[in-house]
Chain A
């Protein structure tokens, strides 16, 4: 029993309620409390990251002990993989909230913004730390509902349309997931992920579980915006206020989409080759199609949103290659490398895509437009934004000193070593197209000469909180490259990979407690 685990959910929930109750009486209470909440959560998650290692810590909600070694309570589980995703969520969340202090000041009803933000964080932490499949659904809905509301925060025509699309597709995803949970419960009579695994292995009904797997993959695939289910993402992510776009694109689709897909497929379902090939195909498809959809965009945030689809494709493709190798039961070290590449890219994407959306927000804040054709020459007037966005652009397109290079390199290496030469070539080509697309972004936004018309207002650099968040994130982009060094990788990435590679360890440990 680790008493820190429920705090991950309790603190942001309490923060949200306190902001709504006390926010209207005390000035600046909302900003201070939200930043404080996220700061504490960041510290807790880094504590988990440094202390978890190969251990698995479990918290039983309500203190219900297992009866005849069958878990009956709700379990919250933190292992190596969880700790990594928790760090991403809370760190990016903290920087986004700090950034919002100046960004969101021009909207009305800031209290609602900060309260919904805390609720979204609570939901995501709950999804990630949950060891119970229905609990995942509940927290998924908490974070989804608050993200629907946050996408519509501007209540203009565009935001409302985007949030409607997002809600209809999100609702569809939730019902698919709920149906899948129903089927799982029907067959296994338990909801605990580890317990489902043991029951499933002891009496394996292949056709039935394949159907459930497809339901889960499509449900969480909609949440993760894998390509046939991506329709909502560009609208929702580009219409939301920029700190929220950074959260949705940098964290949300990973925490409630990719993380759950990886967790369920590696630790709960028995990996079957069909599903592995399906996941790899979907990943490759989103990688390629996403980048081609991105290249023609002129709205900065839509461009970034399409690139999110493409980069998530990298993660799913790489993890899928690992699944294919595991299902064939051969070459475990290559499978481990592929999974490591996927998780590494997931971490990196959170850093650079969060930063890029914050940059887009800063540009919008200063110039009042999101259209690349109306900008130009911002490098002089906004030096910090220009420098940080250059770092992020180079990171996402995979230029050496930045983190994106190393994760893409690992992914391509793993694909070559697994003899998927076509996938490796596609990954390299997509990376080049990404570079082209971001050079366009850099050129039009920062270096192109101003197109003649002089604006009356002088464009200034954004206020301190926004600058601070952007600088910290760009430093993180550089620091994350260190994860490629073997010694550091062993400390942080290897526990996560071990837990995914060995599902029996996960289930036996949790049931044994």
Chain B
């Protein structure tokens, strides 16, 4: 059970970072931390004590396999996460070129 709580705490660490950090890169890193805590949770959903990798062994058909579906989901989600993170980084680079700063307090043209 404790590992699920740790996973949730990791999510909250990421959320804390997104809310409190002022550097754009650090915000992006905090988002990644949240993302990975979600992936970790998915991996945990499929796992149980003593399960083995889900490769069917004809010699011993009664093995206990872990659930392979969450692993497939995590792989898909990692690819999506790669796309979002790289797009976010590209935007941050452009912002740095325009504003000359990565401080979120100096990037506030839009309000109201």
Contacts and interface: CB of A to CB of B under 8 A. Distances in A.
B49 to A, nearest CB: 16
Interface in B77-94: 77, 80, 83-84, 87-88, 91-92, 94
A138 B76 contact: yes
A179 B4 CA distance: 12
A175 interface: yes
A155 interface: yes
A175 B33 CA distance: 11
A158 B112 CA distance: 14
Judged by DSSP, the binding face of A is helix
A163 B99 CA distance: 15
B112 A164 contact: no
Contacts, number: 90
Interface string B94-112: 1100110000000111101
B38 A141 contact: no
Contacts of B99: 157
Given A179-B38, A185-B45, A239-B110, A163 B91 contact: yes
B84 A182 contact: no
Nearest to A171: B31
Contacts of A235: 110
A157 B108 CA distance: 10
A148 B70 contact: no
A278 to B, nearest CB: 21
A186 B73 contact: no
Given A148-B87, A175-B38, A186-B45, A168 B31 contact: yes
Interface residues of A, number: 38
A149 B87 contact: yes
Contacts of B108: 161
A441 to B, nearest CB: 17
B35 A171 contact: yes
B39 to A, nearest CB: 8
A145 B27 CA distance: 18
Nearest to B27: A168
Interface string B14-34: 010010000010010001001
12 contacts: A134-B73, A156-B98, A157-B98, A157-B99, A160-B95, A161-B108, A164-B91, A171-B84, A175-B35, A179-B38, A185-B45, A296-B112
Q: Which 10 A-B pairs have the closest CB atoms?
A: A141-B80, A235-B110, A186-B45, A178-B38, A160-B95, A171-B31, A175-B34, A157-B98, A175-B38, A182-B41
